[in-house]
Amino acid sequence: MRIFSGIQPTGAKHLGNYSGGFRQYASTQEEGEAFFCIVDLHSITVDFDPETLRRSTLDLAAMLFATGIDPQRSTVFVQSHVPANPYGAWLLSSVASYGQLQRMTQFKEKAERREFVSAGLFTYPVLMAADVLLYNADLVPVGDDQRQHIELMRDLAQRFNARFGETLVVPEGRFPAEGARIMDLQEPQMKMSTTGGTPQGTVLLLDPPEVIRKKLKSAVTDSGREVRHDPEEKPGVSNLIEILSVATGDSFADIEARYDAQGYGPFKKDVGEAVVALLDPIRQRYDELRADEPELRRLLAIGAEKARATAQPTLESMIEKMGFVQPQGVVDTAPSP
């Protein structure tokens, strides 16, 4: 089985990214041949700073390894190192409809918040589809906010196959059973996010223990004192139950039973400690890995080579089926740039 996921090198990564992203990458890599892509080409679709992008790309590589991706077993690479990805996106844009792209919630939300809406922000899901489809991936582990993009990529694969002949594997999304959507601790109606949420309600993976404890201690709870998972009635408490479950592996029922008679104080304190216990070793590993930039670059170079070799045959087969004339009689007939 082929596994593929992508994550953007923008914004400090947070507990939601851990829960919907990193945690799932590390567990799914056991199930097959996995590719994890640092999607730097996606990061230029909103305002960005080149120097920061350079730094964040290596930050994210270190974080992927720190959260358990094994470079011996899985391929970690940078999207811009593989020209086939944006090339494939252009080809797929021929089977992507303007109307469907216009309906993407993430686009609508992001577009609403800014004055300059780049064309790239609009076509972003087509590039994401190319990311996955070029690698013939079967499984895409992501958080809940990517459901619509996964549906779109499945549509594009099917439409391409129907139009040009069987070429692309139609992938499935995988969403975690719990923690697929971690909410902001201060505003539990909003998902945890460094762009849309509150700073106090967002636990960063690199926050020091004191900061994590403080953020959880001041997390918004709901009226009453029952510790019960009921996102409609009790969004704040339900989110904390999910976080505790992600951090410890305990089921919701166990957590409810344990804290029911105790009220919110001890509950929140324990969630804080559990998150510290989860993130502290990650931060320490991160610091070690991030300090060795040549090693990170070396691993990314190996990843890029494997990724190119995997994507190229799919790209060539798309090119061939779409009727593009191949150059003949020249030394290098490879159709890629």
> Is residue 244 a contact point for ligand AMP (CB under 6 A)?
no
How near is the Cβ of 58 to ligand AMP at its closest, in Å? 16
Q: What is the C-alpha separation between 253 and 181, in angstroms, rounded?
A: 19
The stretch near ligand TRP (CB under 6 A) out of 91-99, 140-148, 266-274, 303-311 is 140-148
> Is residue 8 a contact point for ligand TRP (CB under 6 A)?
yes
Closer to ligand AMP by Cβ: residue 60 or 276: 60
Give residues with Cβ within 8 angstroms of 134, minimum separation 6: 84, 85, 88, 310, 311, 314, 315
What is the Cα gyration radius of the chain? 21
> Is residue 8 a contact point for ligand AMP (CB under 6 A)?
yes
- Residue 19 is given by DSSP the state I
Q: Beta-carbon neighbour count of residue 116 at 10 Å? A: 8
Site for ligand AMP in 114-143 (CB under 6 A): 142-143
The four Cα atoms 63, 69, 74, 80 give a dihedral, to 10 degrees, of -10
> Is residue 145 a contact point for ligand AMP (CB under 6 A)?
yes
Site for ligand TRP in 35-54 (CB under 6 A): 39, 42
Give residues with Cβ within 8 angstroms of 146, minimum separation 6: 140, 173
> Is residue 146 a contact point for ligand AMP (CB under 6 A)?
yes
Q: What is the C-alpha separation between 78 and 91, in angstroms, rounded?
A: 20
Phi, psi (degrees; rounded to nearest 5) at 39? -90, 70
Q: Tell me the two tokens of residue 106.
A: 């993430």
> Is residue 140 a contact point for ligand TRP (CB under 6 A)?
yes
Binding mask 192-211 for ligand AMP (x = CB under 6 A): xx------------------
Q: What is the C-alpha separation between 129 and 92, in angstroms, rounded?
A: 8
Strand partners, 6: 37
How near is the Cβ of 27 to ligand TRP at its closest, in Å? 15
Size of the site for ligand TRP (CB under 6 A): 14
How near is the Cβ of 201 to ligand AMP at its closest, in Å? 11
Residue 324's closest CA among 144, 90, 32, 23?
90
Residue from 2, 3, 5, 205 binding ligand TRP (CB under 6 A): 5
The stretch near ligand TRP (CB under 6 A) out of 23-31, 141-149, 235-243, 291-299 is 141-149
Residue from 2, 3, 4, 16 binding ligand AMP (CB under 6 A): 16
How near is the Cβ of 192 to ligand AMP at its closest, in Å? 4
Residue 128 binds which of ligand TRP, ligand AMP, none (CB < 5-8 A, kind-dependent)? ligand TRP
